[in-house]
Amino acid sequence: MTNVNELLKEKLTAENYDRLMAVDNTRIHEFVADAIELTGPETVFVCTDSEEDVKRVRKMAVESGEERPLETPGHTYHFDGPSDQGRDRQATKYLVPETETLSKALNQMERKEGLAEVRGLLKDSMKGRAMILRFLSLGPAGSVFSVPCVQATDSWYVAHNEDLLYRTAYEQFCKIEKDKNVFCFLHSAGELSEDMISVDVKNKRIYMDYTRDTVYSVNTQYGGNTMGLKKLALRLTIRQADAEGWLAEHMFISGVYGPGGRKTYLAGAFPSACGKTSTAMLPGETILGDDIAYFRKINGEFRAVNAEAGIFGIIQNVKEKDDPMIWDILHNPGEVIFGNILVKDKKPYWLGMGEETPDDGVNFSGQWHKGKKDANEKEIPLAHKNARYTVTLTALANCDPELENPVGVPLSGVMYGGRDPKASVPVQQAFDWAHGIVSYGASLETETTFAIIGEEGVMEINLMSIQDFLAIPLARYIRNNIDFVQGIDRPPLVFGVNYFLRDKEGKFTNDVPDKHVWVKWMELRIHGDVGAITCPTGQIPRYEDLVPLFKEVFDKEYTKEDYVKQFTIRVPENLAKIERVEKYHRENVPGSPQEVYDTLEATQKRLNEAREKYGDYISPFDLAE
Ligand code: SPV
Ligand code: MN
């Protein structure tokens, strides 16, 4: 590369050059100079934290045509192309140097080859466009948790989305040390259609050069593939956390109220589209985060922050009745970006909104009418199932006041949940931390969903629901989790949840809102206010403790029949699951901790003993005696 400083001086206007130079960091200057030389933008906009700059991003997102205004002031919508509606596992790869190996469960390629390929696709990709540079922080800015990130993109939509989702941190960057490492993200939407949609999707690439903490993304617009600070950064953060002794998790955090108004913080990991955001947004409780959490030990306490400051949420099934808070935000003036919904007469519509929807309009497929088919003769729904909304957390009336606390909140409970139609009870508590990490986290088996491009409804193991983002050996990640609580006086309790258990007829055993009762039960368990029934897979609620909770939360009578249906221990299904989990670890997790095998074996033994005594299907009332 030519001299970094000379290049920056030549390509940036005096004002933008001064702004960039105020961030006195060698790595950043080198990254920006390289990005400019590679992608050849016409202009470079160095975005500060000023209101004026942020307004410019918002305005340009509309002027460029990447977003269009809706009727409600502050609301806009954006479309991604038909093959760009979710995270793309095939196109996402770790670039691994010849001398290293990564778990074979991870999609990867040789680093030099990958760099040549992705940089080839990025060559001159910003010709005639503006490059937007954003300085942002994961975790509260200026705290022990903060991870500084630089985003370079030619998409005003990506820059705008990140504005709602992350903390602007130009001010902090102006105080950065010269040799401090930062995460760098380079994105180009690539060639665009008249409608401002990436056209070259077959050349979509999201390549992680973890050796340089740099991620390249090209020929894609979908948020999960383009916003550096979302899942691209998570992959790098997990490596940093591993090196520094903390944890980066795919988890929500929320404050749950107990008797006397006490508030207890809980976090939870769920694969995409398995109930994470809805658990984070339970009415009457507070939300601190819905997707990515960082955990650190501070003075012997388990402390947590939200890496993000906004929500990129699934809009499907958001209904006035079930989700009043988010519904309000989606229907009142304020900043909202809708993605991949249906638009008619400047109004947004989505699947499962509980209201009448029009028979035509515009959606991700272009002009749409009911019955429209795609190239494979498959009917195109009115909106994509993975359609999303972006809002800041502070727009929510129940946003937790500790969102920006530099030392986070004390965490008392952690839950793991997937889509398990057959085996796991709706809620159970682990015997201890390690038991929970192994039995509910490292054993998480789930049906695939629409949030990832590919077939839906296929059972797969998704370790702690973070497997897609693990850039360190899987065994090491499990070990880090098991060991993390060493030196913590009161580790969080661990719970396993399953909102998707079905009966013999294939019907769900629970109503959607029931999760609220499970979370209230956890809160009581944390404080020792209720007992539990010991069963082979964990500790389950007693009927008499759930009755008042159903009454309190929903004013509903909770029947013994429902309880038995939901909490019957299904021995054959649990044994079969353990077999699959064990096989998975033997084949895909070389060096998986011995605790994993020991714990699975002990559960197997307890299940077999219980079967001898009670049979294949064990009523919780039998175990309560
Ligand atoms: C998820 O799919 O887990 C999300 C959305 O949170 S994204 O990762 O951005 O696709
Ligand atoms: Mn997520």
Ligand nearest to the CA of 272: 1
Measured by CA distance, the residue closest to atom 7 of ligand 1 is 224
Q: How many CB atoms lie within 10 A of CB 257?
A: 15
Phi, psi at 35, each rounded to 5°: -65, -40
Phi, psi at 418, each rounded to 5°: -140, -170
**Residue 341 near residue 86, CB atoms below 8 Å:** no
CA-CA-CA-CA torsion sign (20, 25, 28, 33) = positive
Q: If you measure from the C-alpha of residue 231 to the centroid of ligand 1, how many angstroms do you get, rounded to a whole number?
A: 7
What is the per-residue pLDDT for 300?
95
The identity of residue 436, as a single letter, is G
CA-CA-CA-CA torsion sign (302, 303, 308, 312) = positive
Give me the DSSP letters along 163-184. HHHSEE-HHHHTT--TT---EE
Q: If you measure from the C-alpha of residue 273 to the centroid of ligand 2, how many angstroms do you get, rounded to a whole number?
A: 8
CA 91 → CA 203, 212, 453, distances in Å? 8, 20, 10
What is the per-residue pLDDT for 46?
98
Enumerate residues lining ligand 1, CB below 6 A: 87, 223-224, 230-231, 272, 291, 312, 451
Q: Pick from 333, 335, 315, 312: which is nearest to 323 by CA?
A: 315
The CATH number assigned to the domain with range 248-309+401-624 reads 3.90.228.20
Adjacent-strand bridge partners of 214? 184, 209
What is the per-residue pLDDT for 10?
96
What is the per-residue pLDDT for 336?
98
> For domain 4-65+87-245, which CATH number applies: 3.40.50.11890, 3.40.449.10, 3.30.70.1140, 3.40.1110.10?
3.40.449.10
Q: Where are the domains of the chain?
A: 4-65+87-245, 248-309+401-624, 312-395
According to DSSP H, which parts of 403-514 are helical?
433-436, 474-484
What is the per-residue pLDDT for 373?
96
Task: Provide the token pair at 104.
Answer: 């074979």
Burial class (CB in 10 A: 0-12, 13-18, 19+), 84: buried
Phi, psi at 595, each rounded to 5°: -55, -35
Tell me how far apart the alpha carbons of residues 38 and 1 are, in angstroms, rounded to a whole number. 10
Please report the atom of ligand 1 found closest to the CA of residue 86. 10
Cut 0.85: pTM above it: yes
- Going by the DSSP 8-state scheme, the letter that residue 399 receives in this structure is B
Q: How far is CA 380 from the centre of its chain?
A: 26
Tell me how far apart the alpha carbons of residues 267 and 371 are, in angstroms, rounded to a whole number. 41
CATH superfamily, domain 312-395, is Phosphoenolpyruvate Carboxykinase, domain 2 (2.170.8.10)
Tokens 């029931």, located at residue: 514
Q: How far is CA 131 from the centre of its chain?
A: 27
User: Please, what is the Cα angle at 272 between 266 and 277, to 5 degrees?
Assistant: 40
What is the per-residue pLDDT for 2?
61
Catalytic residues: 274
Ligand nearest to the CA of 452: 1
Please report the atom of ligand 1 found closest to the CA of residue 87. 10
Mean pLDDT, the chain cut into blocks of 10 residues (625 residues total): 88 98 98 98 98 98 98 98 95 95 87 98 98 98 96 98 98 97 98 97 97 98 97 97 98 98 98 91 96 97 98 95 90 98 98 97 97 94 97 96 98 97 97 98 93 86 94 94 96 98 96 95 98 98 98 97 98 97 95 97 98 98 90
**Rg from Cα positions in the chain:** 24
Please report the atom of ligand 1 found closest to the CA of residue 451. 2
By most ligand atoms within 8 Å of CB, the mutation choice from 217, 225, 231, 465 for ligand 1 is: 231
Measured by CA distance, the residue closest to atom 8 of ligand 1 is 224
Query: SS in 3 state form for 108-132?
Result: EEEHHHHHHHHHHHHCCCCCCCEEE
What is the per-residue pLDDT for 325?
86
3-class state of residue 533 by DSSP: strand
Q: Pick from 333, 308, 304: which is nearest to 229 by CA?
A: 308
What is the per-residue pLDDT for 623?
95
